[in-house]
Amino acid sequence: MNRRLYFVLPDVDTSLLVERDLLLAKVNDSLMHFMGKRGTDLKDLPEATTLQKSDIIHGIKVGMFSGALGAAALGAIIYVARDFIGMQIVPGIILLFFLGGSVLGVWIGGLLIGSSTPNITLHGFEHTMDEGHILLMVDVPVERVDEIREIVKSHFPQAEDHGEEEIFHAFP
């Protein structure tokens, strides 16, 4: 299980030093995600991806759930009303609608809506990034959380610790 730690750093130069110290502590570059206000030159820092900047994962979950539920309900209504409609409908129509609704929900909720919606977790950091600060998100195993916090805070006391959240990677 991993945790995502959030730190607000004063500027890009400090961020480069934090990255160096984390690399020396054997934190892979792919687990560090830096963000600044739009147009900020992050130099060689690993920038946050679209998945981290947008609400696509939340959108996929909500879309899949609501699409599957709505389509399954529609399939059940059609199945129950089959005599009224005068059609031969097999019970598998509910499953077919469920699967179709899930796919449609993922597409609409995640890929269309979620990808264009800013990540709700990052909303609280917009003001500080607008002031020129840099947001660092670093993903670490739960057993290294205290160690990573200590590295960042001991070397860079001006770094602001903004907590952590549990994360799940699709692929280990």
Q: What are the sequence ranges of the domains in the chain?
A: 2-49+121-167, 56-116
Q: Residue 154 is encoded by which pair of tokens?
A: 């001991």
Q: How far apart are CA 30 and CA 36, in angstroms?
A: 17
DSSP-H helix ranges across the chain: 12-24, 50-53, 56-80, 82-85, 92-105, 126-130, 145-155
Could you state, in chain order, the average pLDDT of each consecutive group of 10 residues for the chain (172 residues)?
A: 91 93 94 91 88 77 85 82 76 81 83 72 83 93 93 88 74 43
Find residue 2's DSSP bridge partners: 141, 167
Distances (CA, A) of 168 to 54, 106, 147: 16, 18, 20
The top-level CATH class assigned to 2-49+121-167 is: alpha beta
Give the model's pLDDT for residue 10. Answer: 93
For the chain, how many residues are written? 172
Give the model's pLDDT for residue 169. Answer: 52
Give the model's pLDDT for residue 95. Answer: 82
Q: What is the pTM of this model?
A: 0.70
At 111, the amino acid letter reads L
Give the model's pLDDT for residue 18. Answer: 93
Give the model's pLDDT for residue 172. Answer: 44
Give the model's pLDDT for residue 87. Answer: 74
